Amino acid sequence: MTNPGKPRIGVLAIQGDYAAHALALTEAGARPSEIRKPEELAAIDALVLPGGESTTMLKFLEKRHFFEALREFCARKPVFGTCAGTILLAREVRNPAQRSLGLLDVVVERNAYGRQIDSSIEMAETALPGGPLEMVFIRAPRIMEIGPGVEALAFRDGYPTLVRQGNTMAATFHPELSPDRRVHGFFVDLASGADLYPSGLPDL
């Protein structure tokens, strides 16, 4: 590795807002690259699964035998799913049910906020230091249940919006669309093997 200080973080670039994630990762101190083929996974330390349309991504992944390679990678390395990416990672998907990688112990309901409020911007305190965080929701899923090994780091209306299970992180909102880089910074630290909570997990 030429620069061991900067983790190489891939962004799944099939569809959706992968370019905004690549920019956010650069700003947060990582070296991003766009991933379109299973072979490209060998060159990265961690991966972002972006927002977009999970059904479209799934179709692409299944046609190219990418699904199995992605599952192998995500089970072993740090991965961050946002919105549709969270749906791909979930143990169970509802509304409607669809296949998923099953690597994050959560149950998600797609498009859970209905047509009237399908997109919104909220400000809320989170477990990340530095005050309230802007959260941009676009046809967002809702995390209905989390397993015992999953930490909830932020909430909307009592439902988790940012979670972590070991090396796996997921947000139901789009942190790449806000100027605040704390969420990507947290993932870059996770991908670098840093101690994320040096003084313990803060209370919400």
**Which residue numbers are catalytic?**
83, 174, 176
The tokens of 67 are what? Answer: 């699904």
Q: Answer for the pair 135, 154: CB distance below 8 angstroms, yes or no.
A: yes
CB of 5 vs ligand GLN, minimal distance in Å: 31
Separation of alpha carbons 24 and 185, rounded Å: 9
CB of 128 vs ligand GLN, minimal distance in Å: 21
Separation of alpha carbons 90 and 59, rounded Å: 17
Per-position x/- string for 146-185, each x denoting binding to ligand GLN as judged by CB under 6 A, each - no binding: ----------------------------------------
Give the residue with the Cβ less far from ligand GLN, 7 or 10: 10
Give the residue with the Cβ less far from ligand GLN, 139 or 181: 139
Angle at 11 between CA 9 and CA 13, to 5 degrees: 155
CA 59 to chain centre: 19
Size, binding site for ligand GLN by CB under 6 A: 11
Closest-CA residue to 167 (of 192, 184, 200): 192
Q: Does 77 bind ligand GLN (CB under 6 A)?
A: no
DSSP string over 67-97 = HHHHHHHHHHS-EEEETHHHHHHEEEEESS-
Give the residue with the Cβ less far from ligand GLN, 10 or 51: 51
When binding is defined by CB under 6 A, the residue of 84, 106, 150, 191 that contacts ligand GLN is 84
CB of 71 vs ligand GLN, minimal distance in Å: 18
Per-position x/- string for 32-71, each x denoting binding to ligand GLN as judged by CB under 6 A, each - no binding: -------------------xxxx-----------------
Q: Answer for the pair 57, 83: CB distance below 8 angstroms, yes or no.
A: no
Give the residue with the Cβ less far from ligand GLN, 6 or 84: 84
Q: Does 112 bind ligand GLN (CB under 6 A)?
A: no
Tally Cβ neighbours within 10 Å of residue 85: 30
Q: Which positions lie near ligand GLN, rule CB under 6 A? A: 51-54, 83-84, 87, 110-111, 138-139
